[in-house]
Amino acid sequence: MDVTKTRKKIMSRIFITGSADGLGKMTAQLLVAEGHKVVLHARDNRRANDAMEATPGAEGAIAGDLSAIKETVKVAERANALGVFDAVIHNAGVGYREHKRIATVDGLASVFAVNGLAPYILTCLMTRPKRLIYVSSGLHRQGNPSLDDIAWQNRPWSGFNAYADSKLYNVILAFAVARKWPGIFSNALDPGWVATKMGGPGAPDNMEDGIETQAWLATSNDDEAMANGQYFYHKKFRVPNPSAAKAGIQEKFLEECRRFSGVSFPV
């Protein structure tokens, strides 16, 4: 695929969470091939080394387990020590096939900790980039907008529902950032149901379209890519769960994340 024909590009410096495998790794490889500076992320040193081997030309890799609040804070600190990024792609995620609630060191459901809370903490603590991209899912439309028991401490466990909720949180966060920081391009996207380790081998969507959309939002100066508070699927606007655009829901989500993490959203 000749991506130079599909979008205008500016050379950028990009940090991608969860880029040791799956869509994160493939997006990193595409961006490096295009000449961008890319910093990778993986949950531990071994996987960070694997990520560097898989993406030759990457600027570096940061190790840190996003299921742990203290580790996520350290990831933000390590990223800030490397300098300012033009874009951050919040790609790291846990899937929906957990048959029982897996608790983190902080006592939270891992799906919430990695998919929902970690992007919040990184957004709050990292030096603000020009662009923020939050990888969501079409399943976010089935998420529960009540935000009651978002860490699944009391509800009967459902891996599917926990995942759908967490993907709704990604869109809520993207839209909250867009509202509060209007000078930043903050958007969410659905990469499609693609054949990654999470999506499974029978997934029907086009892998390249999902990768390209992340890279396009991070680097393109096309008018459509320089949006704020939008939800995309394959480089096209899609209507998201309408609850994500409600300021009251956004504020409740930010407050819940502050309560769990001890990190306040900066004004």
List average pLDDT for each run of 10 residues in the chain, which is 267 residues long: 48 96 94 97 97 97 98 98 98 86 95 98 98 97 96 94 97 98 96 55 58 94 95 95 98 98 96
Dihedral, 203, 209, 213, 214 alpha carbons, nearest 10: 50
**Residue 56 to residues 28, 96, 188: CA-CA distances in angstroms?**
10, 31, 27
From 163, 154, 167, select the one nearest 99 (Cα to Cα). Answer: 163
Q: Per DSSP, what are the bridge partners of residue 231?
A: 188
Confidence at residue 121, expressed as pLDDT on a 0 to 100 scale: 98
Confidence at residue 5, expressed as pLDDT on a 0 to 100 scale: 43
Catalytically active residues are 163, 167
Confidence at residue 169, expressed as pLDDT on a 0 to 100 scale: 98
Confidence at residue 205, expressed as pLDDT on a 0 to 100 scale: 53
Confidence at residue 236, expressed as pLDDT on a 0 to 100 scale: 94
Query: What are the residue ranges spanned by the domains of the chain?
Result: 3-261
Q: Return d(Cα 47, Cα 41) in angstroms, integer.
A: 9
Q: Per DSSP, what are the bridge partners of residue 60?
A: 39
Strand blocks (E) in 86-152 = 87-90, 131-135
Q: Per DSSP, what are the bridge partners of residue 58?
A: none
CATH of region 3-261: 3.40.50.720
DSSP 115: I
The DSSP line for 24-45 is HHHHHHHHHHTT-EEEEEESSH
